[in-house]
Amino acid sequence: MVAGADIDGPAMARRRTWRTPLMRLGRLIGSHPVSILIYVAVMVGIVLAALNGASAMGYNWQWYRIPQYFYGFTEEGGFVLGEIPWGLVGTIGLSTAAFALAVVIGLVVALLRLSDLVIGRAVAVGFLELIRNLPLLVLLYVFYYVFGPIFGLDRWAASVACLAVYHGALVSEIFRAGINAVPRGQREAAKSIGMSTAQAYRDIILPQAFRFMLPPMTGEVVNMIKSSAIVSVIAVAELTTVGRDIISETYLSFEIWFTIAAVYMAVTLIISAFATWLEKRHAVTD
């Protein structure tokens, strides 16, 4: 009897703890349908509060005026894209160019940091500390108002360079972490069959590091698209600038900012979904 009680003891105690009212409440809230319900309720609450506030200040919603900024028709009946899609094209063009450059900068900085060259490491660390400790907006002003005249950069080039340098610093840390995650034996095996350092990186280390880098790199693409909005302060043609321009003509600030936000979100969610798919595909070959 005593032995039996001993065996049952801990299991019974564990089961009993679930019966305390607080734990039961926690379990209920944590369950799937209930948490979805809570989520929906909170969201509805926020939207209602916003609408309520807007109507309290007498805001006149004019959603019907929004579609014209997405598409329109010429007098001959031809289809034309509106300002918002063109703004999105600007954002994507800017982000793509800046990200491509950021990857190059990031790879160079990461390789310098991992190299045996003392000067290389010092340059890399100096660059990282400088960039990481400056606000992006200040960096943009430096590129546009200082480097712009010096190197003859126009607004677009200054913006691309600024975003590339800023995100290059972050990308280099992703490269470094990815490269470090590849076991040391891989490099040794590559060297032991006579590969040069460059060959070992290209054929052995980077392809393996790619898998580790994919999730944070996608996050960085999303960050790039988001932070590209900042170049609207120097009036580079992109989505946020388009939003500001439309509002200055129409005063539709609520509708336009909701719309612009939704467009950004649609793009970043698509990128995240693509990355998830890519990750799954690469997991299979392992």
Partner 1 sequence: MPDADAVITLRNVSKSFGPFKALSDVDLTVHAGEKVVICGPSGSGKSTLIRCVNRLEEHDGGTINVDGIELDEHTENIRAVRQDVGMVFQQFNLFPHLTVLENLTIGPVRVRKMPKSKAEKLARTYLDRVHIPEQVDKYPAQLSGGQQQRVAIARSLCMEPRIMLFDEPTSALDPEMINEVLDVMTELALSGMTMVVVTHEMGFARKVADTMVFMEAGRVVETAPPEKFFTNPESDRCRMFLDQILEH
Applying CB under 8 A, the residues found at the interface with partner 1 are 183, 185-186, 188-196, 199, 203-204, 207-208, 285-286
Which CB sits closer to partner 1, 205 or 267? Answer: 205
Q: How far is the C-alpha of 113 from the C-alpha of 177, rounded, in Å?
A: 11
Alpha helices in the chain (DSSP H): 2-17, 21-30, 32-56, 83-114, 118-132, 136-141, 148-151, 155-181, 184-192, 197-199, 206-227, 239-250, 253-284
Q: Which is nearer to partner 1, 5 or 193 (CB)?
A: 193
Helix axes 155-181, 206-227, angle to 10 degrees: 140
Where b means 16+ CB within 10 Å and e means fewer, 96-120 reads ebbbebbbebbbbbbbbbbeeeeeb
Tokens standing for 46? 């926020």
Comparing CB distances to partner 1, the nearer of 150 and 193 is: 193
Compute the least distance from the CB of residue 195 to partner 1, in Å: 6
Question: Is the Cβ of residue 190 or residue 230 nearer to partner 1 in the bound state?
Answer: 190
Whichever of 76 and 286 has its CB closer to partner 1, that residue is 286
Task: Report the alpha-carbon distance of residue 55 to residue 49 in Å, rounded.
Answer: 10
Q: Which is nearer to partner 1, 200 or 237 (CB)?
A: 200
Query: Nearest distance from residue 114's CB to partner 1, in Å?
Result: 17
User: Shortest Cβ distance from residue 103 to partner 1 (Å)?
Assistant: 20
Minimal distance, residue 166 CB to partner 1, in Å? 31
Q: How far is the CB of 279 from partner 1 (least distance, A)?
A: 15
In the complex, the smallest distance separating the C-beta of residue 178 from partner 1, rounded to whole angstroms, is 13
Question: Of the two residues 22 and 284, which places its CB atom closer to partner 1 in the complex?
Answer: 284
Classify residue 206 as exposed, middle or buried by CB count within 10 Å of its CB (0-12, 13-18, 19+). middle
Q: Which of 279, 238, 273 is nearest to 95 (CA)?
A: 238
End-to-end CA distance of the chain: 53
Cβ-based neighbours of 137, under 8 Å, separated by 6 or more: 230, 233
CB 283 to partner 1: min, Å: 12
